[in-house]
């Protein structure tokens, strides 16, 4: 393993090259920052050094401050762990250095990495280098002067856009905008940077200090107008607004004042709940690619060059789109040419939709479509590496397809099903290929939604899981490996979500208020609007599956049947809990209220026939605590490898707000004991739907967090 630290080499030209080394992304861990301070001091002190070049080892400049340190601070609350980098290193040592400093940037300069580079007197970059300040996506803001220097180098509008979106730009764009001084091939990066530094030292090139520049800021009134517009459009998250305020401080009172305010607010944000949630999600997402006995046993992923998709419906065409967009050849099979045409048209529409939204160039779209071949027989299947079956959810049909596939496909071929409910053991029951059968559960629209649940049975081989994980990453998904059960991880955990909402409706709580409470919590929409969007057919079909699988905890509400009887089918026909008009926002449809009242009369859940009185917080808890309860069963049964995998699955599959860290992380922050006691109370009042699971009860009794590992004797203590 390469050594973590900073090196200094002085050449015969009098240029000191300071190199950051902390693989894989040269993150600024505390020893690295101390090393930088030491090496800069040495370079400044030495008489044989005329100029300095700062660079990173191994083809990457720097991925920013070490995010592990955030977790340490968040765990201990000890802010003194955070070193003073902004003033001591970037401002006083680099920018105010008496010797010119040039950043030689390759690969990426993100967050604190770009901030170090902006403190230098010039920036030379290799082609296609990523440059960005993604701190807001971690719930903090740039803390090494980035809020002040980026606007001074790029202008206010573009720099605000980069910070608010957390998205990087490439060095080519950076050059056009003034962030980068020169782009050179990577082999010439260090040589050009050395010469540039000497040119500054010998006054052949200007000696520019970013924080002192004003030419791109414009007048105070212009700046305020830009900032106020940005405030209107920014997400309603604390870090976004704090960042805009800090930018304004620097514009009103000068760059140094902005730097000082930035350092203060940065420390407040690091310990915020938002940052705790987002930092957890950052690491949790990366943990999903570590699966014991799959990724740690020396297996190598096999190449997947040709994929067959069976079924060109909504899911099949979305899955096919995801593959062709990632440069993989796809055979789409349907049972007749009419259905095949419908499937290929859907794929074309998916691709052209991305072009229209400027997410794809026309050239790439045309190339992707050339990789698609439609078929109505199995002739093309003889050399496929993977098949994904995406036909309707009928067991005999799936069984016969897998029986055929086993005979036609090569022996190495992975046989996957996109089923969202059916037991994979049953699907593969009539084959002798159970070791290569797995679930590849995509979420709709499959070419857009980022989650891929990879479902394994006890017979699926580790190689097949590894191949699916690899191919998932190739098609830009986050693969999460899960066990085989009704609904797998996401749908299983969230099946009580809609049912909890229906209990509230039957208790007399206004459905539109329920939706408002859930949206305010951070989900994109409430459960009733979601039901409208999915269509009531889905609600009925999925409801049956879960009622069969988990009859002890299913609340059967006749509401959807009554809505269907009234001619409603949600967004599909423009009539649901809401009305839908093209181009407009959904409007609450008050004519639904008598139907809900009719339902209440049937279920007789309201105590004394009167609506219950309830706070917004209780609404939220009566909907989400049953979800947490099911998450407990998922953890108990080992459906996911670790609790944080369920966090990622909930964020990416259900759009659970990422700043709350995912369903389990959120539950632990609320307090296990409170959740247990609340569910117990409601189960006594409203029945077994709320009955606390054994896992929850045990964790509550032991004072252990839900996320604490099963074997944990000391465990992570939950907030009781």
Ligand X SMILES: C[C@H](O)CC(=O)SCCNC(=O)CCNC(=O)[C@H](O)C(C)(C)COP(=O)(O)OP(=O)(O)OC[C@H]1O[C@@H](n2cnc3c(N)ncnc32)[C@H](O)[C@@H]1OP(=O)(O)O
Q: For 311-400, list the strands marked E by DSSP.
A: 329-333, 372-375, 386-389
Nearest CA-CA partner of 40 in 107, 85, 3, 2:
85
Would you say 497 and 527 are in contact if contact means Cβ atoms under 8 Å apart?
Answer: yes
Scanning residues 614 to 673, which ones bind ligand X (CB under 6 A)? none
Q: How many CB atoms lie within 10 A of CB 586?
A: 19
Handedness of CA 605, 609, 615, 616 (dihedral sign): positive
Which one is catalytic: 9, 95, 106, 115?
A: 115
In whole angstroms, give the CA distance from residue 546 to residue 557: 13
Q: Which of 16, 33, 101, 110 lies at the binding interface for ligand X (CB under 6 A)?
A: 110
Q: How far is the CB of 189 from ligand X (least distance, A)?
A: 19
Q: How far is the CB of 478 from ligand X (least distance, A)?
A: 11
**Exposed, middle or buried by CB within 10 Å (0-12, 13-18, 19+), for 178?**
middle
Q: How far is the CB of 115 from ligand X (least distance, A)?
A: 6
In whole angstroms, give the CA distance from residue 430 to residue 420: 20
Under rule CB under 6 A, residue 253 binds ligand X: no
Q: Which is nearer to ligand X, 147 or 498 (CB)?
A: 147
Q: Which of 5, 56, 143, 576 lies at the binding interface for ligand X (CB under 6 A)?
A: 143
Alpha carbons within 13 A on the beta-carbon side of 386: 30
In whole angstroms, give the CA distance from residue 514 to residue 436: 44
Q: How many residues bind ligand X (CB under 6 A)?
A: 22
Q: Which of 5, 64, 238, 692 lies at the binding interface for ligand X (CB under 6 A)?
A: 64
Q: Which is nearer to ligand X, 286 or 677 (CB)?
A: 286
Alpha helices in 56-155 (DSSP H): 67-76, 112-119, 146-154
Identify which range of 137-145, 201-209, 256-264, 528-536 contacts ligand X by CB under 6 A: 137-145
Q: How far is the CB of 385 from ligand X (least distance, A)?
A: 24
Under rule CB under 6 A, residue 66 binds ligand X: yes
For residue 456, give the H/E element and its range. Answer: strand 451-456
**Which residues neighbour 44 within 8 Å (Cβ) at sequence distance 6 or greater?**
93, 97, 98, 99
Q: Which is nearer to ligand X, 70 or 196 (CB)?
A: 70
- Helix 490-506, helix 511-521: angle, nearest 10: 140
In whole angstroms, give the CA distance from residue 251 to residue 367: 47
Q: Which is nearer to ligand X, 144 or 494 (CB)?
A: 144
Identify which range of 141-149, 237-245, 347-355, 607-615 contacts ligand X by CB under 6 A: 141-149
Under rule CB under 6 A, residue 61 binds ligand X: no
x/- letters, 117..136, toward ligand X (CB under 6 A): -----------------xx-
Q: Which is nearer to ligand X, 115 or 406 (CB)?
A: 115
Under rule CB under 6 A, residue 108 binds ligand X: yes
Under rule CB under 6 A, residue 115 binds ligand X: yes
Identify which range of 64-72, 557-565, 576-584, 660-668 contacts ligand X by CB under 6 A: 64-72
Would you say 143 and 263 are in contact if contact means Cβ atoms under 8 Å apart?
Answer: yes
Under rule CB under 6 A, residue 63 binds ligand X: yes
Identify which range of 63-71, 237-245, 326-334, 457-465 contacts ligand X by CB under 6 A: 63-71
Peptide bond preceding 445 in cis form (omega within 30 of 0): yes
Q: How far is the CB of 553 from ligand X (least distance, A)?
A: 36
x/- letters, 268..287, toward ligand X (CB under 6 A): ------------------x-
Q: How far is the CB of 112 from ligand X (least distance, A)?
A: 3
Cα angle 571, 577, 583; round to 5: 40
Q: Which of 142, 174, 543, 588 lies at the binding interface for ligand X (CB under 6 A)?
A: 142
Tokens of 713: 């004797």
Under rule CB under 6 A, residue 139 binds ligand X: no
Tokens of 33: 């920052």
Q: How far is the CB of 483 from ligand X (least distance, A)?
A: 23
Query: How do strand 329-333 and strand 306-310 relate by DSSP bridges?
Result: parallel
Torsion-angle region of residue 109: left (phi > 0), alpha (psi -120 to 50) or beta? beta
At 189, give phi and psi (nearest 5°). Answer: -60, -50
Q: Give the CB-nearest residue to ligand X.
A: 111
Question: What pairs with residue 9 in β-bridges?
Answer: 17
Nearest CA-CA partner of 294 in 452, 469, 451:
469
Would you say 296 and 275 are in contact if contact means Cβ atoms under 8 Å apart?
Answer: no
Q: How far is the CB of 146 from ligand X (least distance, A)?
A: 6
Handedness of CA 40, 44, 50, 51 (dihedral sign): positive
Residue 380 is a catalytic residue: no
Q: Which is nearer to ligand X, 438 or 649 (CB)?
A: 649
For residues 17-43, one letter each, b for 16 or more C-beta atoms within 10 angstroms of the residue's C-beta and e for the rest, the string is: bbbbbbeebbbbbbebbebbbebbeeb
Identify which range of 46-54, 104-112, 366-374, 533-541 contacts ligand X by CB under 6 A: 104-112
Q: Which of 15, 16, 17, 27 lies at the binding interface for ligand X (CB under 6 A)?
A: 27
Identify which range of 24-32, 220-228, 380-388, 654-662 contacts ligand X by CB under 6 A: 24-32
For residue 448, give the H/E element and its range. Answer: none
Q: Which of 5, 111, 316, 526 lies at the binding interface for ligand X (CB under 6 A)?
A: 111
Helix (H, G, I), strand (E, B) or coil at 17: strand
Q: Which is nearer to ligand X, 143 or 255 (CB)?
A: 143
Q: Which is nearer to ligand X, 24 or 77 (CB)?
A: 24
Cα angle 75, 81, 83; round to 5: 140
What is the Cα Rg of the chain in Å?
28
Under rule CB under 6 A, residue 138 binds ligand X: yes
Q: Which of 61, 65, 323, 512 lies at the binding interface for ligand X (CB under 6 A)?
A: 65
Q: How far is the CB of 138 from ligand X (least distance, A)?
A: 6
Residue for token pair 């030689």: 104
Q: Which is nearer to ligand X, 166 or 457 (CB)?
A: 166
Query: How do strand 122-125 and strand 169-170 relate by DSSP bridges?
Result: unpaired
Q: How far is the CB of 289 from ligand X (least distance, A)?
A: 7
Q: How far is the CB of 21 from ligand X (least distance, A)?
A: 14
Under rule CB under 6 A, residue 327 binds ligand X: no
Q: How far is the CB of 144 from ligand X (least distance, A)?
A: 5
Q: Which of 13, 41, 59, 68 lies at the binding interface for ligand X (CB under 6 A)?
A: 68
Which one is catalytic: 135, 249, 389, 630?
A: 135
Q: Which is nearer to ligand X, 142 or 374 (CB)?
A: 142
Identify which range of 19-27, 245-253, 459-467, 682-690 contacts ligand X by CB under 6 A: 19-27
Provide the edge-to-edge strand list for the sheet that holds 130-132. Answer: 108-110, 130-132, 169-170
Question: What pairs with residue 105 in β-bridges?
Answer: 125
Q: Which is nearer to ligand X, 84 or 222 (CB)?
A: 84
Residue 135 is a catalytic residue: yes
Q: How far is the CB of 20 from ligand X (least distance, A)?
A: 12
Scanning residues 185 to 204, which ones bind ligand X (CB under 6 A)? none
- Catalytic site residues? 115, 135
Binding site for ligand X (CB under 6 A): 24-25, 27, 63-68, 108, 110-112, 115, 134-135, 138, 142-144, 146, 286
């Amino acid at each position: 393993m390469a050594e973590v630290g900073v090196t200094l080499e002085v050449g015969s030209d009098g240029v000191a090259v300071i190199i950051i080394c902390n693989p894989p992304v040269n993150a600024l861990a505390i020893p690295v920052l101390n090393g930088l301070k030491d090496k800069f001091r040495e370079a400044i002190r030495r008489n044989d050094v005329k100029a300095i070049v700062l660079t990173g080892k191994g083809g990457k400049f720097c991925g920013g401050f070490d995010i592990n340190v955030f977790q340490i601070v968040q765990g201990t609350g000890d802010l003194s762990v955070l070193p003073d980098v902004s003033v001591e290193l970037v401002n006083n040592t680099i920018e105010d250095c008496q010797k010119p400093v040039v950043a030689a940037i390759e690969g990426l300069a993100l967050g604190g990495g770009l901030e170090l580079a902006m403190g230098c007197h010039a920036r030379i970059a290799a082609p296609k280098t990523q440059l960005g300040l993604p701190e807001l996506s971690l719930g903090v803001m740039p803390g090494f002067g980035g809020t002040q220097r980026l606007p001074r180098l790029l202008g206010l509008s573009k720099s605000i856009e980069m910070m608010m979106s957390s998205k990087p730009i490439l060095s080519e764009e950076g050059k056009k905008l003034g962030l980068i001084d020169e782009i050179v091939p990577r082999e010439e990066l260090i040589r050009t940077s050395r010469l540039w530094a000497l040119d500054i030292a010998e006054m052949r090139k200007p000696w520019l200090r970013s924080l002192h520049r004003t030419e791109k800021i414009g007048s105070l009134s212009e700046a305020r107008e830009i900032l106020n517009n940005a405030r209107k459009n920014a997400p309603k998250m604390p870090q976004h607004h704090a960042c805009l305020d800090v930018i304004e401080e620097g514009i009103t009172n000068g760059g140094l004042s902005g730097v000082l305010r930035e350092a203060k607010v940065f420390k407040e944000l690091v310990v915020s709940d938002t940052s705790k949630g987002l930092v957890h999600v950052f690491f949790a997402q990366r943990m999903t690619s570590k699966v014991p006995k799959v990724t740690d046993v020396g297996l190598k992923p096999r190449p997947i060059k040709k994929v067959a998709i069976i079924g060109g419906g909504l899911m099949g065409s979305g899955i096919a789109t995801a593959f062709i967009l990632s440069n993989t050849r796809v055979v789409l099979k349907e049972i007749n040419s009419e259905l095949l045409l419908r499937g290929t048209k859907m794929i074309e529409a998916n691709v052209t939709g991305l072009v229209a939204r400027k997410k794809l160039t026309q050239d790439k779209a045309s190339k992707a479509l050339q990789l698609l071949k439609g078929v109505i027989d199995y002739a093309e299947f003889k050399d496929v590496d993977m098949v994904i079956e995406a036909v309707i959810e009928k067991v005999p049909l799936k069984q016969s397809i897998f029986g055929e596939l086993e005979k036609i496909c090569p022996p190495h071929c992975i046989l996957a099903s996109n089923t969202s409910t059916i037991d994979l053991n049953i699907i593969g029951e009539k084959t002798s290929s159970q070791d290569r059968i797995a679930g590849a559960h995509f979420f709709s629209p499959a070419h857009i939604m980022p989650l891929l649940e990879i479902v394994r049975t006890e017979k699926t081989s580790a190689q097949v899981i590894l191949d699916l994980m690899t191919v998932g990453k190739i098609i830009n998904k986050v693969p999460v490996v899960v066990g085989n059960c009704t609904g797998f991880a996401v749908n299983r955990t969230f099946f009580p979500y809609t049912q909890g909402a229906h209990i509230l409706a039957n208790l007399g709580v206004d459905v539109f208020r329920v939706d408002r409470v859930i949206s305010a919590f951070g989900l994109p929409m409430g459960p009733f609007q979601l039901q409208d969007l999915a269509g009531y057919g889905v609600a009925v079909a999925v409801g049956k599956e879960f009622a069969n699988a988990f009859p002890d905890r299913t609340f059967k509400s006749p509401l959807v049947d009554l809505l269907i009887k009234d001619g409603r089918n949600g967004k599909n026909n423009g009539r649901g809990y809401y009305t839908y008009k093209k181009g407009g926002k959904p409007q609450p449809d008050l004519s639904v209220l008598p139907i809900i009242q009719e339902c209440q009369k049937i279920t007789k859940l309201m105590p004394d026939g009167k609506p219950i009185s309830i706070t917004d917080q209780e609404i939220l808890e009566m909907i989400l605590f049953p979800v947490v309860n099911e998450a407990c069963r998922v953890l108990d049964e080992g459906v996911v490898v670790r609790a944080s995998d369920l966090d990622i699955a909930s964020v990416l599959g259900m759009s659970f707000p990422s700043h709350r860290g995912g369903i389990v992380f959120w539950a632990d922050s609320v307090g296990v004991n409170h959740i247990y006691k609340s569910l117990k109370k409601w189960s006594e009042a409203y029945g077994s739907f709320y009955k606390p699971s054994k896992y929850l009860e045990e964790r509550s009794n032991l004072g252990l967090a839900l996320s604490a590992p099963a074997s944990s004797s000391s465990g992570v203590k939950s907030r009781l």
